[in-house]
Amino acid sequence: MAKTAIFLANGFEEIEGLTVVDILRRAQIDITMVSITGTKAVEGSHGIKLEADATIESFDFGDVDMIILPGGMPGTKNLDACEPLKAKIKEFNDAGKMLAAICAAPTVYGKMGLLNGKRACCYPGCEGELLGATTTTDAVIKDGNFITSRGMGTAIPFALAILEHFKGKEAADQMAKGIVFNS
């Protein structure tokens, strides 16, 4: 079974993070919510508090197939300042493992130079931080080992693209139908 991890920082966009968690769990794809705050407690950008499944300090990246980053402010800045996370992102990229991000969070990959030569999308106005990428206004872009998306309004297509990566288009289409998305 595929194993994914979504990294949560204080100030993350709740819909972008929790939509992915919800859809992947419905699809029986293992997803762990990992806090970078030093505790399992995380507060979203709109004051919604939650308890993550693990902290980055205690999390075992060994068998993880994909790292996922939600956007939001100051969540994205907090993710970008997390050196242990960025070290793992670099390892994942070097190994050709999957990296996904939505909203402003693709800038974390962009500023690391990982999107150079790739097609990518992000929240409007953040394109300049996707260094070397060809930016688009598509809702979701998959290019190589990256899946990027634009914002809260594209959270469902983003989650469905991750589902499609692991279980195929038919599974993603069935999920979309089951949650009454674009019916």
Is the preceding peptide bond at 74 cis, omega within 30 degrees of 0?
yes
Given 82, 103, 122, 126, the catalytic residue: 103
CA distance 113 to 111: 5
What is the C-alpha separation between 123 and 150, in angstroms, rounded? 5
In this structure, how many other beta carbons lie within 10 angstroms of the beta carbon of residue 90? 14
| Sign of the CA dihedral with 119 first, then 159, 162, and 10 last | positive
103 included as an active-site residue: yes
- Distance between the two ends of the chain, CA-based, in angstroms? 29
Alpha carbons within 13 A on the beta-carbon side of 38: 1
- Just list the catalytic residues: 103
